[in-house]
């Protein structure tokens, strides 16, 4: 079951500048900054009601975010949904013909298990499923 639009992931070139911009835009400080070494990204999170904004900058030349930025530039990189049971959701989506980018849930930023659905099977949108690690 999908329970929330958890966050929007925004790819940015300059994390410090984008953090300052969103701090002004949202008129609040981020609640978290986190480096995700496995993905080669630095992240910054803002709360917006029941959802969040995740700013993402690549830290290595071959990280997915660095490659995305060089191809498409800054903008909305992914849409993340909270799900009640990530494994059950992955099985269901696979059965229904969606292409998953990871076979097993992996540890993402902000204390989540995550799985990505390929944009080619989701109308051009990279979809992230996430479930809070308890
Ligand atoms: Co995300």
Per-chain mean pLDDT for the chain: 96
Picking from 66, 43, 62, 68, the residue whose alpha carbon sits closest to that of residue 126 is 68
Is the pLDDT score of 16 beyond 90?
yes
What is the per-residue pLDDT across 54-68, written as a single tens digit (0 to 9) for each? 999 999 999 999 999
Domains of the chain: residue spans and CATH: 2-132 (3.10.180.10)
What pTM did the predictor assign? 0.94
Average pLDDT, stretch 92-113? 95
Residue 37 CB contacts under 8 Å (≥ 6 apart), including other chains = none
95 CA to middle of ligand 1, Å?
24
Answer yes or no: is pLDDT of 38 > 90. no
Q: Which helix (H) or strand (E) holds 22?
A: helix 15-26
d(CA 112, CA 132): 5
pLDDT value of residue 11: 98
Phi first, then psi, for residue 78 (nearest 5°) are -155, 160
Centre of ligand 1 to C-alpha 80, Å, is: 6
Mean pLDDT calculated for residue range 101-121: 95
Give the Cβ contact number of residue 85 at 10 Å: 12
Of 52, 34, 43, nearest to 15 by C-alpha is 43
Q: How many Å lie between the centroid of ligand 1 and the Cα of residue 34?
A: 12
CA of 125 relative to ligand 1 center, distance in Å? 13
């Amino acid at each position: 079951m999908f329970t929330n639009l958890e966050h929007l992931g925004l790819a940015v070139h300059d994390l410090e500048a984008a953090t300052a911009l969103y701090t002004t835009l949202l008129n609040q400080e981020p609640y978290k900054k986190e480096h995700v070494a496995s993905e080669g990204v630095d992240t910054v999170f803002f709360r917006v009601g029941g959802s969040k904004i995740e700013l993402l900058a690549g830290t290595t030349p071959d990280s997915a975010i660095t490659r995305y930025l060089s191809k498409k530039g800054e903008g909305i990189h992914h849409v993340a949904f909270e799900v009640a049971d990530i494994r059950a959701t992955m099985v269901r989506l696979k059965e229904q013909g969606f292409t998953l980018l990871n076979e097993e849930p992996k540890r993402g930023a902000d204390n989540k298990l995550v799985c990505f659905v390929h944009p080619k099977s989701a109308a051009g949108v990279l979809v992230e499923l996430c479930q809070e690690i308890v």
